[in-house]
Amino acid sequence: MALPEPIERLISLLKKFPGVGEKSARRMAFYVLQEGEGFGADLARSVGELNRRLTTCEKCGNLTETQPCPICGDPLRDRSLLCVTETIEDLVSIEQSGLFNGLYFVLGTSLSPLEDRESLPEETVRLLRKRFEEYPIREAIIATNPRIEGDMTFYALLEALRDIPVKKSRLAYGLPVGGSIEFADRVTLHAALESRQEIRE
């Protein structure tokens, strides 16, 4: 049965979300319809405000409404610790765990065996290295995911930071191979942070 065009268009858009298939998208579309015009208007307004009000922090790459972001601008953060993540979602997961009080840097990318490149973008590396010039960082915690993409990114980071004389460590036990920091619970993140391993170069 063919659905009305507005519903089909919404379903098509919702299917673009990670992990959302045809049935889930249809369920969400009908939920929006059943909730009434007020809910739909609020949803559309909130989505519209994402790009209008949010930008990335010029220092760390986190989402923010101000420059710098609240984390970079907080004088109580431990500026001797820097946690490097692949994505903003990973940053949010670590931050919400309440276990880390240092600074962050979001790569916004990761290496893949399907791509023909072995190093991170030059601009990303330049901005990351700038963090070490701006703050008295003593340890860089490389929080890449325990997958092949995370491993490739980890080694590319080590190469990019080879000449910077700080302790370098990586999240360790607790995170399952092939898993994702974004979906790890607080206990798992605590174990991974506490048992992080120093990298001997």
The domain that contains 27 carries what CATH number?
1.10.8.420
For the cut 80, the answer to whether the pLDDT of residue 189 exceeds it is no
88 and 184 share one domain: yes
Q: Report pLDDT digits (tens) over 34-53.
A: 998 899 999 999 999 998 99
**Mean pLDDT score across all residues of the chain:** 89
Which of 159, 38, 19 minimizes the C-alpha distance to 89?
A: 19
108 and 169 share one domain: yes
97 and 183 share one domain: yes
pLDDT top residue among 59 and 181: 59
What pLDDT sits at residue 112?
86
User: Helix 186-194 to helix 88-97 angle, to the nearest 10 degrees?
Assistant: 90
For the cut 60, the answer to whether the pLDDT of residue 176 exceeds it is no
Rounded percentage of the chain residues whose pLDDT exceeds 90: 71
Per-residue CA distances from 151 to 98, 107, 140 (Å): 25, 14, 16
To which residue do tokens 């009434």 refer? 36
For the cut 90, the answer to whether the pLDDT of residue 180 exceeds it is no
Domain containing 20 equals 5-53
- Distance (Å, whole) CA 68 – CA 142: 22
What pLDDT sits at residue 71?
98
State how many domains the chain has: 2
User: Could you count the other beta carbons within 10 Å of the beta carbon of residue 85?
Assistant: 29
Q: What is the mean pLDDT of residues 107-114?
A: 89
What pLDDT sits at residue 114?
82
**Is 184 within 8 Å of 143 (Cβ atoms)?**
no
**Is 93 within 8 Å of 106 (Cβ atoms)?**
no
Most confident of 25-29, 111-115, 143-147, 151-155: 25-29
Q: Report pLDDT digits (tens) over 1-17.
A: 688 999 999 999 999 99
pLDDT top residue among 182 and 97: 97
What pLDDT sits at residue 125?
96
What pLDDT sits at residue 195?
65
User: Residue 58 falls within a domain, yes or no?
Assistant: no
What pLDDT sits at residue 12?
95
For the cut 90, the answer to whether the pLDDT of residue 179 exceeds it is no
Query: 121: cis peptide before it, omega within 30°?
Result: no
Q: How confident is the model at residue 201 (pLDDT cuts 50, 70, 90)?
A: low
72 and 43 share one domain: no
pTM: 0.80
What pLDDT sits at residue 183?
65
11 and 93 share one domain: no
